[in-house]
Amino acid sequence: MNKYSGFGLLKHGLSYHENWQRAWRNPKPKAKYDVVIVGGGGHGLATAYYLAKVHGVTNIAVVEKGYLGGGNTARNTTIVRSNYLWDESAHLYEHAMKLWEGLSQDLNYNVMFSQRGVLNLGHTLQDMRDIQRRVNANRLNGIDGEVLDTQQVQEIVPIMDCSANTRYPVLGASWQPRAGVARHDAVAWGYARAADALGVDLIQQCEVDDIITEDGAAVAVHTKQHGLIKADRIGCVVAGNSSVLAKMAGFSLPLESHPLQALVSEPIKPILDTVVMSNHVHGYVSQSDKGDLVIGAGIDGYNGYGQRGSYSTIEHTVQAIIELFPIFSRVRMNRQWGGIVDTCPDACPIISDTPVENLFFNCGWGTGGFKATPGSGHVFAATLAKGEAHELAKPFSMFRFNDGSLIDEHGAAGVAH
């Protein structure tokens, strides 16, 4: 792998950029791998990368039915934060946060991780109690966080309407300075390039249509384009289609698939320097480095696999944004889109072994998977390498729904849902 640098850019510039190497190969699949990872999104690619880098397992294929990073990695609103309420999730997301903090250098690919801070607004007394509780928990868990009052929020976001005249006045916020946004596509590409350099086969346009089991153990995946690919262990990281893959293996997951939409404005000059999220009025917004206001909507109530959603959801979201930022009323919305999120009943992911031996699932991240990408890949890689859950992944077993050890991150964690 040729190292990327400013100097390299100059050098390539002088040769008209004719000599750039491929960021990753386009290999034909082998008959058998140590590990096959189904799903070439951010989480799957990160899993492959850490398997190869940390655990020395390099005989790996990532099979992807479309193109790398084309699912929810390509569709999210790029927010990264770790201010979760419960210890289990806080530790997992903070693990991810620490990896984010050196990720560009580790991958030699600038994922443009911008630690511009995230505000979670409170609009009711109960919101503020929840914020206090969460920030206290964060601090005692070693995660940065502060509770801000209205005045302090206004200082950070001067353009927001923090007056008492709004329908739900801003009473305060939690503030995580280390949180921020990253360039979502670059995360997938950076992991793909680094994994490829370690020998991982990235196989695009390769759709798994069956998981082959023998004596209760998974032995291969069957693909539409390349037939059987055998593997000692199989990891499924297929947000939006997890239940479909589980069905192939003969079990069901406690997941519901919902459309989740997002939208962007036309690019405008920098005006919003941080990420603002509000559960109560139900919208969140940041401004991309390109200048678009990137706005997240809530999930649609019904289930579905079409990567589109209901217009009414868009309307409610835009209303929320204008409620917070009335000055954006004349700015224009450029584009909307949807992804499919797999949501768990307790709003926490599943990183787990399954009823089928040698088959592992990493799924159920709901609306908030992007921020976990490095941590998710890191712990799932360990899980796949050792055949048992990484310490941080243990609480996220799919069997928690049988015994009731749920980690309910609804509401109190500022999970935007």
Partner 1 sequence: MTQNNRLSSGGRIDRSQPLTFTFNGKQYQGFKGDTVASALLANGVDIVGRSFKYSRPRGVIAAGAEEPNAILQMGATEATQVPNVRATQQELFDGLVCQVTNGWPSAEFDVMGLVGKAGGSFMPPGFYYKTFMYPQSMWDTYEKCIRKAAGLGRSPRENDPDIYDHINQHVDVMIVGGGAAGLAAALSASRSGARVILADEQAELGGSLLHASESIDGRPASEWAAEVIAQLEACDNVQLLPRSTVNGYHDHNFLTIHQRCTDHLLDCAPIGQARQRMHRVRAKWVVLATGAHERPLVFANNDVPGCMLASAVTTYIKRYSVVPGERLVLMTTNDSAYQAAFDWAESGRFVVAIVDTRAHPGGDVIDEANRRGLKVIAGSAVIEVKGSKRVTGVSVSAINQLGDKALGPVKHLTCDTVASSGGWSPAVHLSCHTGSRPVWRDDVIGFVPGNSQQKQLTAGAINGTAALSTCLQEGFQAGREAAINAGFDTVPSISLPKVDERHIGAAMALFHIPHSKPTSRAPKQFVDFQTDVTAAGIEIATREGYESIEHVKRYTAMGFGTDQGKLGNINGMAIAAKSMNKTIPETGTTIFRPNYTPVTFGAVAGRHCGELFDPKRYSAMHSWHLKNGALFEDVGLWKRPWYFPQAGESMQESLNRECKAAREGVAILDASTLGKIDIQGKDAREFLGRIYTNAWAKLAIGKCRYGLMCGEDGMVFDDGVTACLADDHFVMTTTTGGAARVLEWLELYHQTEWPEMEVYFNTVTDQWSTMTISGPNSRKLLSELTGDIDLSRDAFKFMDWHEGTVAGVPARVFRISFTGELSFEVNVPANYGLYVWEKVFEHGAKYNLTPYGTETMHILRAEKGFIIAGQDTDGSVTPIDLGMDWCVSNQKPYSYIGKRGMNREDCLRKNRKQLVGLKTKRSDVVIPEGSQAVADPNEPVPMTMLGHITSSYYSACLGRSIAMGMIRDGFERMGQTVYYPQPDGSVIEAEICSPIFLDPKGERQNV
Site for partner 1 in 384-413 (CB under 8 A): 400, 402-406, 408, 410-412
In this complex, which beta carbon is closest to partner 1, that of residue 27 or of residue 216?
A: 27
3-class DSSP assignment, residue 192? helix
Q: How far is the CB of 219 from partner 1 (least distance, A)?
A: 30
Q: Which of residues 58, 59, 132, 150 is near partner 1 by CB under 8 A?
A: 132
> Burial, 216: exposed, middle or buried (Cβ in 10 Å; 0-12, 13-18, 19+)?
exposed
**Interaction between residue 331 and partner 1 (CB under 8 A):** yes
Task: Pull the structure tokens for residue 164.
Answer: 């008492």
3-class DSSP assignment, residue 371? helix
**Interaction between residue 108 and partner 1 (CB under 8 A):** yes
Q: How far is the CB of 327 from partner 1 (least distance, A)?
A: 5
Q: Which of residues 41-80 bind partner 1 (CB under 8 A)?
A: 66-68, 70, 74
- Residues making up the chain, counted from first to last: 417
Q: How far is the CB of 201 from partner 1 (least distance, A)?
A: 13
**Interaction between residue 154 and partner 1 (CB under 8 A):** no
**Interaction between residue 6 and partner 1 (CB under 8 A):** yes
How many whole angstroms separate alpha carbon 253 and alpha carbon 68?
25
Q: Which of residues 27, 30, 31, 126 is near partner 1 by CB under 8 A?
A: 126
Q: Which of residues 11-30 bind partner 1 (CB under 8 A)?
A: 12-14, 16-18, 20-26
Q: Which of residues 268-327 bind partner 1 (CB under 8 A)?
A: 268-271, 281, 288-291, 306-308, 310-311, 314-315, 318-323, 326-327
Among 210, 254, 211, 209, residue whose Cα is nearest residue 359: 211
Q: How far is the CB of 213 from partner 1 (least distance, A)?
A: 28
**Interaction between residue 178 and partner 1 (CB under 8 A):** no
Q: Which of residues 71, 190, 339, 375 is near partner 1 by CB under 8 A?
A: 190
**Interaction between residue 191 and partner 1 (CB under 8 A):** no
**DSSP H or E run through 233:** strand 227-236
**Interaction between residue 225 and partner 1 (CB under 8 A):** no
Q: Among 180-188, 226-234, 242-250, 366-374, which window interacts with partner 1 (CB under 8 A)?
A: 180-188
How many whole angstroms separate alpha carbon 397 and alpha carbon 361?
9
3-class DSSP assignment, residue 189? helix
Size of the site for partner 1 (CB under 8 A): 115
- Non-local (6+) Cβ contacts of 406 within 8 A are 345, 346, 348, 400
Q: Which of residues 34, 144, 185, 357 is near partner 1 by CB under 8 A?
A: 185
**Interaction between residue 114 and partner 1 (CB under 8 A):** yes
In this complex, which beta carbon is closest to partner 1, that of residue 31 or of residue 163?
A: 163
Q: How far is the CB of 128 from partner 1 (least distance, A)?
A: 8
Among 2, 191, 23, residue whose Cα is nearest residue 106: 191
Q: Is 296 left (phi over 0), alpha (psi -120 to 50) or beta?
A: beta
Q: How far is the CB of 115 from partner 1 (least distance, A)?
A: 8
Q: How far is the CB of 414 from partner 1 (least distance, A)?
A: 13
Q: Which of residues 30, 129, 224, 247 is near partner 1 by CB under 8 A?
A: 129
Q: Is 227 left (phi over 0), alpha (psi -120 to 50) or beta?
A: left
* Residues β-bridged to residue 201: 61
Q: Read out DSSP for 203-224? A: E-S--EEEEEEETTEEEEEEET
Q: What phi and psi, each to the nearest 5 degrees, are found at residue 63?
A: -105, 135
Q: Which of residues 229-268 bind partner 1 (CB under 8 A)?
A: 265-268
Is 94:210 a contact under the CB 8 Å cutoff?
no
**Interaction between residue 1 and partner 1 (CB under 8 A):** no
